[in-house]
Structure 1
Amino acid sequence: MIWQSDEDRAWAVEEACRNARPSPLEIGLGGWILRASGGPTRRTNSLNPLRGWRDDPARIIAEAESLYRSLGRPLIVRVPDLVPEMGAVLDGLGYRSEGEACTLFAALPPEDRAVPDDVILTDAPDAAWLEAHAACEGVMSEAALRAYRDSLACLILPRMFARRIEADRTVAVAYGVLHRGILVFESVATHPAHRRAGHARSLIATLMAWARREGATGACLQVIAGNAPARALYGGLGFSRNLYDYRYRRRD
């Protein structure tokens, strides 16, 4: 896909990332999407912006606060650099900033590669993938597991789930989603006992090759800004361009 500007690319990636991790419950709200999946994940339980016209920020915040209150939850606002108008309003209301993250982009390499013998690909998260994901992520509450699986059940875009096997055990998992020529990486995780051995790199390279065969030309992912090991891994795979940062805002 050819974008007319950096802003076009950034908004295309924002849309792709949102669709790669859907929320079973969401509504449109004056140029924003209010997402309420349940569980602890902020991305699927926050107010997220859309491109184009957006209603008065103060009015949106007041309406969103009321709606989240009716669900028994605090309002969390996800604020990308793409929507600077929201910052001053949230500052005035005492919303603190947390969870700074960056959005990385890479062009897909032209070369193809066969699926390695130690990587298993499935177009849906089977029981083995889900079990391995839980083991890689560590202890997750029942509410978190349920919300995560409900999110995956809402995926309707082309997707591929990958896991790497070593000594008959899954040591790393990831999945990728294709949206309008963009591959989005999600849930890249390695078991704590098997980190720094290149497992995640192998999965990412395999998914990039799959996406290239499906006609994608670019890939993106979102990562915690302070996660130096992850950023080094992704940088080595061509994710050298940071399109925009974002953070979450909530009131104590």
Structure 2
Amino acid sequence: MSWTSDADLHWSVEEACANARPSPNQIVFGGWLLRASGGPTRRTNALNPLRGRRDDPAAVIAAADAVYRGLGQPLIVRVPDLAPEMDAALDRLGFRAEGETDTLFAAGAACHAPAPADLVLTPEPDAAWFAAQSACEGPVSALAAQTYRASLASLLLPRVFARRMRDGRPAAVGYGALDRGLLVLESVVTHPEHRRAGHATALVAGLMAWARARQAEGACLQVVADNGPARALYETLGFSRRLYGYRYRRRD
């Protein structure tokens, strides 16, 4: 597909990023998407704006707070620059901001390096991929692991899961999902023992080659704003355009 304006591109990327990391539990009301997967991940446990008309922020906050309280979860609101109207209401209620994140874009899945021959690609996250992901990510709680698996089990888009091994041990892992011509890069992580050796670059190049073969028109990802090494890596791969930022808002 082609995008008719910057706003159309930005919202298309916003939707694709949400679809690439779904929550198995969610509801829509008043132009907002409430996601409640459980576990520690903010992305799948936050209130998110949708494209188009949205209800009054105060009413949405009250309704969402009641739902989250019923689930025993805190209200977390994800506020992208695309929908800043929520900020004023949250300021009045004493919600602080955290987790500043940037959304980056590469036209045409820009990196044209071929996929490395030793990159393992699978259509589903098999046991070997999950083992590699766990080794690269490091220890997490049982609940975090459970909700992450549930999120991936809910993924409906065309996708590919990649891992790169060195001497029989995981060096880097990640996955990509394709949504209406957009490749979304997700969960890219390098094992601490293999950092600064080009493994993440090779892995992302492989994911982008997979997407180009499927006529992707662009690639996107979301990265913590102050993560300098990750931003430098993605810059070399063609992610030179910042589309918009977002932050989470929650009570102390």
1:73 maps onto 2:92 in alignment: no
In structure 2, the residue matched to 1:220 is: 220
Q: Give 1:29 shift.
A: 1.5
Matched position secondary structure for 1:151:
helix
- The 1:186/1:240 distance shift into structure 2, 3 A limit, reads same
Matched position secondary structure for 1:243:
strand
- The 1:77/1:39 distance shift into structure 2, 3 A limit, reads same
Matched position secondary structure for 2:148:
helix
Letter in 1 for 2:70: S
- The 1:86/1:111 distance shift into structure 2, 3 A limit, reads closer
Q: Give 1:115 shift.
A: 3.6
Q: Partners of 1:154 and 1:226 in 2: how far apart?
A: 30
- Paired residue total: 252
Q: Partners of 1:105 and 1:62 in 2: how far apart?
A: 34
1:14 maps onto 2:43 in alignment: no
In structure 2, the residue matched to 1:121 is: 121
**Quick check: 1:118–1:166 contact (8 Å CA) kept in 2?**
no
Q: Partners of 1:22 and 1:187 in 2: how far apart?
A: 13
1:64 maps onto 2:64 in alignment: yes
In structure 1, the residue matched to 2:186 is: 186
**Quick check: 2:23–2:36 contact (8 Å CA) kept in 1?**
yes
In structure 2, the residue matched to 1:175 is: 175
**Quick check: 1:106–1:238 contact (8 Å CA) kept in 2?**
yes
Q: Partners of 1:157 and 1:129 in 2: how far apart?
A: 18
In structure 1, the residue matched to 2:230 is: 230
1:52 maps onto 2:72 in alignment: no
Q: Partners of 2:196 and 2:110 in 1: how far apart?
A: 26
TM-score using structure 1 length:
0.98
Q: Deviations over 1:161-209 (max 9, x none)?
A: 0001111222100100000000000000000111111100001111101
Letter in 1 for 2:204: I
In structure 2, the residue matched to 1:136 is: 136
**Quick check: 1:108–1:208 contact (8 Å CA) kept in 2?**
no
User: How do 1:34-49 and structure 2 match up within 5 A?
Assistant: 34-49=34-49
Q: Give 1:222 shift.
A: 0.1
Q: Give 1:241 shift.
A: 0.5
Extract structure 1 runs of 4+ deviating beyond 4 A: 109-114
**Quick check: 1:172–1:191 contact (8 Å CA) kept in 2?**
yes
Question: Alignment identity in percent?
Answer: 66
Aligned residues: CA RMSD: 1.1
TM-score using structure 2 length:
0.98
Q: Identify which range, 110-119 or 45-54, moves more after superposition.
A: 110-119
Q: Give 1:112 shift.
A: 5.8
Letter in 2 for 1:63: A
Structure 1: tracts of 5 or more residues without a match: none
1:209 maps onto 2:209 in alignment: yes
Q: Give 1:5 shift.
A: 1.1
Structure 2: tracts of 5 or more residues without a match: none
**Quick check: 2:110–2:238 contact (8 Å CA) kept in 1?**
no
Q: Partners of 1:133 and 1:81 in 2: how far apart?
A: 31
Q: Partners of 1:189 and 1:111 in 2: how far apart?
A: 18
Q: Deviations over 1:69-110 (max 9, x none)?
A: 000111000000001111100000000000000000001357
Letter in 1 for 2:190: T
